Chains A and B, each alone.
Chain A
Amino acid sequence: MNQADLTDQDPIFRLKGNMLAVTVLELARNDLARLDRQLADKVAKAPSFFNDTPVLLGLEQLTAADAELDLGALLDICRRHGLLALGARASRPGDIQAADELGLPLLPSASGRERPVAEPQTPEPAEEPVEEAAPAEPPLQPTLVITRPVRGGQQIYARGGDLVVLSTVSPGAELLADGNIHVYGPLRGRVLAGASGNAEARIFCQQLTAELLSIAGRYKVAEDLRRSPQWGKPVHVSLSGDVLNITRL
């Protein structure tokens, strides 16, 4: 790759989209005393988990029937038990206002509603929970079609779209796509579909002999894949829940 010229014009930062799986502390009721007790129980059972673990506060289950939430006290409880609140998701206007006042970032709620408080925020979807929130719709990119062999050490990334390889993918080569990946030659390299977190992405290949398969960060390496009866066969790979499903085509 070319060496970057470190001139004045060169940006020293990049804004990058990123998908992180994050734990959501979802509050069913506004009962902080009980939360405190129950958290203490949890900490006793799994102390290693509560070690400055980042969490997202889910306040959407609270209804108008619940009393007004003391967000400051909730944050205190979290901090005491080793949980660091990254932000909150809330639906009640009171909670939203409280979060704003405390400077706690508000994230779009799981149902996709945007936060009604207008405040400029950097487009950093890092804290967006993978399992619930629908990722922002990426603009449709044309499919990247590769007709020559992809050799070891080469990396091909179809940003924001699908990748189709009509030739061989050698061991040590890496295919990445935000969408689906299709390989019509022998597949011996690494394949990562849904590279920025799209769990709906799939992998299709004519001959499964890959070093690694991954969809939205869930992966299987050759050591596991070789034990599959589908090894060497034309297959299609999809993600259901946390499990990579390998199905014969």
Chain B
Amino acid sequence: MAQIIVVTSGKGGVGKTTSSAAIGTGLALRGHKTVIVDFDVGLRNLDLIMGCERRVVYDFINVIHNEATLSQALIKDKRLDNLYVLAASQTRDKEALNKEGVARVIEELKKDFEYIICDSPAGIETGAHLAMYFADIAIVVTNPEVSSVRDSDRILGLLASKSQRAEKGEEPIKEHLLLTRYNPERVARGEMLSVDDVEEILSIGLLGVIPESQAVLKASNQGVPVILDDQSDAGQAYSDAVDRLLGKEVKHRFLEVQKKGLLQRLFGGRE
């Protein structure tokens, strides 16, 4: 049974697309056939992060409007055989999405894929609503600062009330917190909310904490999902998060201020 995962946040720029790319790639690395769908119509970025921007011919909107078939629009990842991307349209806007069309495309994807990752746009309007509407699992990406936490809280409210599962009275969407851009030094200085603060306010399970990392920017610019950079702290943190998503118990790392010792560098942080 295919699982639909929405990666959402409310606030923009917190790392939804980076996380969608990393988690989608991580699932594919672990042998699950996965597709990542970009719902950010008009401001498409996923193709860049995934490094497939030069191969986009047809997009999600073309499929919704029956201007192309799904197999024409799905872009196969160059690195992994079981990973696909469905790009958003750059020329249209969110109004080009409609519930019936999205439902049809998702139904079709469900036949073929184990995991469907919906990369939500920021905001709470049509695009974000449709990205979350059909979800089974939600990954709420949050930065450790108050406005991001507030927006995530709002999104959690919408997940609990405006999704298909909520409307049909089914079991609620499984909610996970993914804390990104975490900087333990700044937390220690009191400049950033701590993991505990955010967990307390949002009261949902913690899927992972991704440290603020140069590797993320580098990966984005190169079009390589950061999870493939297994030397980087962010890559390892995403890897742990994917394992947790698949039900493994993995201890959280990168939560404490690290001494910049050579040995610790070599052994990849604590423990």
Contacts and interface: CB of A to CB of B under 8 A. Distances in A.
B72 interface: no
Contacts, number: 38
B160 A172 contact: no
A151 B200 contact: no
A170 B160 contact: no
B201 interface: yes
A170 B161 contact: no
A148 B202 CA distance: 12
B161, B172, B201, B202, most chain A CB atoms within 10 A: B201
A170 B153 contact: yes
A156 B131 CA distance: 25
A170 B156 CA distance: 11
B154 interface: yes
A172 B154 contact: yes
A153 B203 contact: no
B150 interface: yes
A171 interface: yes
Interface string B45-73: 00000000000000000000000000000
A154 B150 contact: no
Nearest to B157: A151
Contact of B203 (A149, A154, A171): A149
Interface string A148-176: 11111110000000000001101111000
A153 B203 CA distance: 16
Contacts of A153: 154, 157-158
A151 B160 contact: yes
Contact of B150 (A168, A172, A185, A186): A172
B173 to A, nearest CB: 12
A148 B160 contact: yes
Contacts of B201: 168, 170, 188
* Interface size class, chain A: 10 to 19
Contact of A154 (B157, B172, B202): B157
Interface residues of B, number: 13
Contacts of B158: 151, 153
Interface in A133-156: 148-154
Given A154-B161, A172-B150, A149 B200 contact: no
Contacts of B154: 151-153, 172
Interface string A174-203: 000000000001101000000000000000
A171 B203 CA distance: 13
B57 to A, nearest CB: 37
A171 B200 contact: no
A83 B157 CA distance: 47
A170 B150 CA distance: 8
Contacts of A186: 200
Interface in A61-80: none
Contact of A167 (B150, B172, B203): B203
B89 to A, nearest CB: 26
Given A149-B203, A186-B200, A171 B150 contact: yes
Count chain B CB atoms within 10 A of each CB in A151, A154, A171, A173 and give the residue with the most: A151
A172 B153 contact: yes
Nearest to A173: B157
Contacts of B153: 151-152, 170-172
28 contacts: A149-B156, A149-B160, A149-B203, A151-B153, A151-B154, A151-B156, A151-B158, A152-B150, A152-B153, A152-B154, A152-B157, A153-B154, A153-B158, A154-B157, A154-B160, A154-B161, A167-B203, A168-B201, A170-B153, A170-B201, A170-B202, A171-B153, A172-B150, A172-B154, A173-B157, A185-B203, A186-B200, A188-B201
By Cβ-Cβ distance, the 5 closest A-B pairs, closest first, are: A151-B157, A152-B153, A154-B157, A170-B153, A153-B154
